[in-house]
Structures are given as structure tokens and as C-alpha cells.
Amino acid sequence: MKEQNREADAATFLDRLVAETDWQAIAPAAAGIGRFVYDPRTEMAQMDATMRRLTGMLDRVGAFPAADYFTRIHSDDRDAVGDQLALTVREGTPFHAEYRFERSPGEVVWLSGQGRMTDTSDGRSVLVGALYDITTLRSARERAVLLSEEMAHRMKNVFALVQGMFNMAARSSGTKEELVEAYTGRLQALAQVNAMTFASPDRSVRVTDLVSQTLGPLVAAKRIDAAIDDVAVNGAAAQTVVLVLNELLTNAVKYGALRDDAGSVALSIVVVDGGFTLTWDEHATPPITPPTKKNGFGMRVLNSMTSATFSGRPSFEWRERGLLFSCHWDMPTFGPDPRIGASAVPTGTV
């Protein structure tokens, strides 16, 4: 009975304030928006039932010491909220603060409070405001910032990669036509893998999808026997894998096992003991003659780019039946970025 009276008194007080301070101008009539009053003279506060639910302070019915509320504001945010409150009380500027709040032991949420100073009918100057939960909004905002940073970083890397590819192609080409041929295919392969990467929420690509995109028709025609561990790799690793596959395919069509209808290739990509290993084993019939120019653009990609990205360890051997190429990378550097696709704002720990 006593609890009900306290609730009734609190509701009556808030109802009077609605008429006196025009709540409608501060907090739109929408679900999930709580209301509060703070008296800087007595340092007492009061909040409605919605705000009590938002903050987890269900027992704070009626006026209570504002210090009880402040102790539950995250320690990293508490001073900033206090400074904003002091400025509002001292100069009458609008109050606005976003901060983390311990709603219950171990549970932290983001709250946004807004308000203004107003004079009541009994001559007091109080802060009247509204508060709402912005945890989801903050998570989305942090994720957007992270993704924009990731985009800027990726574009910088793509431009550097494109420039490097062009420089290598130019040094290896004797004519304009050779330059176009050496460069265009690689650029298209890079565009394809970037499109696949950005289609994924966590910016990862499954290796089976990379192989299907790059070698699908030849795998379907059984010219390439692919044994692939179905793992996901990050965007930069996907670029490396696609460029390697594109070079191996181009080389096999020009000089190796795929130059006629008789040859085949065994491709394996396995992840064992934290290592990512790609092996390309050609089976040409009749025997082939290895190319005399072994430092062309394709070989530069297979040798220099694979070792330069993620500290890959490539090896290749020309045999009469074709090229045997293998490269090993450490899988932890190839895996998806754990930050992308996950909530950027922890809401379950203090």
C-alpha cells in the first residue's frame, strides 16, 4: 500500500511538470523514452517508470539522491556527464550526453539523455529531460566507422596492388598488345574477387567460391580436379588466391597441361595444423617444353607476390608433364577479420 502511494505521488508530480514545462517539446510520445527531473539545489532526482526500466533502477520510486545514479555511469564517461550537467546548471545551456550505464551487474548499455533547465511554479530551477537506450544505434555507428576505415584501407591496398601489377606487366611486355594482354585479365580477376568480398557481411570469401569463380568451367569439364577445404579467408587473402589461380591457369593454357585437350590439373587447397597450402600439379600429355622466359609477369606474380603477401612460401618446378607449384601461408593471417561483422560495442561486460 505504501509503495502504491509513492507511485501515485511520483505520477502526480510528473503530471504537474508536464503542464508546467511542456514535455511534448522535449520527448516525443514514443515507446522507450523515459523522463527525469533533477534538482541541483538538493541534488535529488526523480524518474518515471520507463526510465526506471531503462536503467534497471526499479526501486527508485520518488525522489532519490542523484549520486546513486552517477555511480552506475561507466567510469570512463562519468566525468564528461558531470561536466555537461554542471555547464547546463550554471549557464542554462541544453543538456545532452551519451554514456555507458551499468543496468545490472555485468550488463552495460548506452544511454542518451537530453534536457533543459526550467523554473517550476514553486520557484525552483530544475533540469527536466528525457532519456532513451541507444545501445543498438551505437553498435551500428561503431560498425559503420569500422567498415569505412576498412574500406579506406582496402582501397589503398587495391590501388597499390594495381600499380604493382601494371609495373610488372610493363617491364615484362615488349609491345602495347602484350601489355594489354598481360594486364587486363589480372585486373578483371581482381575486380571479381573484390565484388565477392564486399558481398559478404564480414568481408570474407569461401575458398570454394573463389575456385568456382576462377576455374568453374574447367572443373565442371573435369580438366581440373579440385580438392578444396571449404574455409573462409579475408579479402586480402582472397585477392592473393585469385591472382595465383589466374596466373596458374594462364600459364597452363599457354605452355602447360591445358594447352590442348589431353592434359589435366590436380588442384588441392588444404588447411592443416594452422597452415593454408595451395598445390597446382599439371599432367600434360604429350610432354611439354618449359617456357624459356621464366621471369615474365606470371612468374613474378607466383614468386614475388605470394612471398610478399602474408609471408607466403612458394615453390615451383617445371617438369615434362607441366608445372608443379605449391605455396604455404599461415592460416591465422588468412582468416576473416574477427572485428568485421561482429558488434563493435560490447554490451555484456563492464
Average pLDDT, the chain: 77
Give me the pLDDT at residue 232, please: 86
Q: Please indicate, yes or no, whether the overall pTM of this predicted structure exceeds 0.85.
A: no
Give me the pLDDT at residue 36, please: 93
Furthest C-alpha separation in the chain? 103
Instruction: Please state which of the ranges 147-161, 201-215, 296-310 shows the lowest mean pLDDT.
Output: 147-161
Provide CB contacts within 8 A for 298, sequence distance 6+: 247, 250, 251
- The answer to whether the CB of 98 falls within 8 A of the CB of 13 is no
Q: Which of 98, 101, 90 shows the shortest CA–CA distance to 53?
A: 101
Residue 307 corresponds to which cell in the numbers above? 612471398
Distance CA 149, CA 154 (A): 9
Phi and psi torsions of 30, nearest 5° = -140, 150
Give me the pLDDT at residue 111, please: 94
Residue 95 confidence (pLDDT) above 50: yes
Q: Where in the chain is the domain with CATH 3.30.450.20?
A: 2-133
> What percent of the chain is predicted at pLDDT more than 90?
31
- Bigger pLDDT: 143 or 78? 78
Distance CA 117, CA 131 (A): 15
Give me the pLDDT at residue 246, please: 79
pLDDT in tens, 221-255: 888 999 999 888 887 788 788 878 878 887 887 78
Q: Is 280 helix (H, G, I), strand (E, B) or coil?
A: strand
Residue 76 confidence (pLDDT) above 90: yes
Which run of H or E residues covers position 182? helix 176-198
Give residue 106's pLDDT band: very low, low, confident or very high (50, 70, 90): confident
For the sheet containing 224-228, what is the strand order? Answer: 224-228, 264-272, 275-283, 322-330, 313-319
Q: Which of 303, 291, 298 shows the shortest CA–CA distance to 327?
A: 303
Residue 56 confidence (pLDDT) above 80: yes
Residue 166 confidence (pLDDT) above 90: no
pLDDT in tens, 312-331: 899 988 888 889 999 998 88
Give residue 350's pLDDT band: very low, low, confident or very high (50, 70, 90): very low
Average pLDDT, integer, range 151-168: 58
- Bigger pLDDT: 335 or 154? 335
Give me the pLDDT at residue 160, please: 56
What CATH number should be reported for the domain whose range is 2-133? 3.30.450.20
| Cis ω before 286 (30° cut-off from 0) | yes
- Bigger pLDDT: 107 or 287? 107
Average pLDDT, integer, range 176-194: 64
Q: Which residues pair with 287 in a beta bridge?
A: none
Instruction: Please state which of the ranges 1-5, 66-70, 220-224, 249-253 shows the lowest mean pLDDT.
Output: 1-5
Mention the CATH class of domain 144-334.
alpha beta
